[in-house]
Amino acid sequence: MATINYLTTIQFGFGELKAIAAGLEDLKVSRPLIVTDRGLAATDIVEQLRAAAPALGNAAIFADTPTNPTEEAVEAALAVYRENGCDSLVAIGGGSPIDLAKGVALLAGHDGPLETYAAILGGIPKITAKVAPVIAVPTTAGTGSEVGRAALITLKDGRKLGFISGHLIPKLAICDPELTLGLPAGLTAATGMDAVTHCIETYLSPRDNPVAESIALDGLKRAVAHIERAVADGSDREARKEMLMAALQGGLTFQKGLGAVHALSHPLGGLKDVSLHHGTLNAVLLPAVLRFNAPSAEAKYAEIRRTLGLAPDADLAAWIAGLTARLGLPATLTQMGVPRSVIPAIAEAATKDHSSASNPRQASAADYASMLEASFG
């Protein structure tokens, strides 16, 4: 039996942003760095955050988080952290600010360079409890990074690598659905499909963790029941709450590992010539991966069909493709602007990605190339 850990505190519900004041006090920190992005910094959400706790009123802020967190951005934020004598981080936004904050928290207590701590380079045991405390406040419902033990960061040489440790799990996750109301339809769809993919891939992972599998199936059921409502009406409070819970549940199951979708979307997300949203990539890649994995997970596919209320002989990959189409997301990598010329390099990179090891069916570079070809349409 695998080790099963759920080691963070979660405040979930409408109006829970106010819990951040007590959270900072419990952690005995008083000089946090706020990490966010330019889009959120231009709204009143950051001001709501500042108003929720005295320690945040004059806190330093780093708002230059890129769409996909980079090593350069981690170093820039770390400089702000050190210049202001910070002792903690409060990340507010989607998965990018939260993952960036984890990178800063790691280097705040560990000597660089960052790649020293990458999972595929043997870095997991090198990450210690010296990681600075992070409080995560998600404003999208998708990544689950607020309760996850990993950060995905693109290094200066273009490699998008995973940094994984229980020490990277935020000390407190404040999940307030109020902060997701009014999220644009396209972003709601993309982040929502990220949550759907997390629940499916972690459930299909062959690692033994029945607790996580139950959570993944419940999260999947919530997500598919509410994602179309959330996209259609950004003010639907029940749909927003259920999508945030589904994303949280997807994150809680990360310890089972992900699979081929993420093994492909990670290196694709590191491409420098095109900016690709992680959740949209997952939605586009998921049907091809489901077709590849089908022979190795028949019983679990049957359980997923039952969870979704589908017929026993339903084509699961086709159903996911249909859902993606109804949400208005791209259907192919071509529509996302990905050039076919990247197939060999991405396929090879996928075999080395940490998520490949927990795919239910072993995949070679040729297999990954075939999945990519199918995803180009």
Query: What is the separation of C-alpha 252 from the centre of its chain, rounded to a whole number of angstroms?
Result: 11
Q: Give 25-38 pLDDT, tens digit per residue.
A: 999 999 999 999 99
Check residues 164 and 6 and name the one with the higher pLDDT: 164
pLDDT of residue 3: 54
Q: What is the pLDDT of residues 93-138, one digit of tens each?
A: 998 999 999 999 999 999 989 999 999 899 999 999 999 999 999 9
Neighbour count for residue 235 (Cβ, 10 Å):
9
C-alpha–C-alpha distance, residues 50 and 374, integer Å: 47
Which two tokens mark 90?
A: 């409060």
Cα separation, 110 vs 118, whole angstroms = 13
The predicted structure's pLDDT at residue 4: 54
pLDDT of residue 1: 40
Mean pLDDT, the chain, whole residue set: 94
Segment 172-183, tens digit of pLDDT? 999 999 999 988
Answer yes or no: is pLDDT of 334 > 80. yes
> Domain spanning 9-179: which CATH class is it, in words?
alpha beta
Architecture of domain 184-376: Up-down Bundle (1.20)
Q: pLDDT-derived band of residue 5, with 50, 70 and 90 as boundaries?
A: low
Give the start-to-end residue ranges of the domains of the chain.
9-179, 184-376
Compute the average pLDDT of residues 292-317.
96
Side-chain half-sphere CA neighbours of 377 within 13 A:
12
* Residue 67: band (very low, low, confident or very high) from pLDDT cuts 50, 70, 90: confident
pLDDT of residue 8: 85
Tokens of 40: 């959120």
For 51, residues 6+ apart whose C-beta sits below 8 A from its C-beta are: 57
Question: Is-contact 223 243, C-beta < 8 A?
Answer: yes
**Given a cut of 70, is residue 7 above it in pLDDT?**
no
pLDDT tier at 228, thresholds 50, 70, 90: very high
Name which of 175, 179, 147, 174 is nearest 48 in CA terms: 179
What is the reported pTM? 0.92
The C-alpha atoms of residue 51 and residue 222 are separated, in whole angstroms, by: 32
The pLDDT assigned to 6 comes to 63
The stretch 200-206 carries a mean pLDDT of 97
| pLDDT score of 182 | 86
Confidence of residue 42 (pLDDT cuts 50, 70, 90): confident
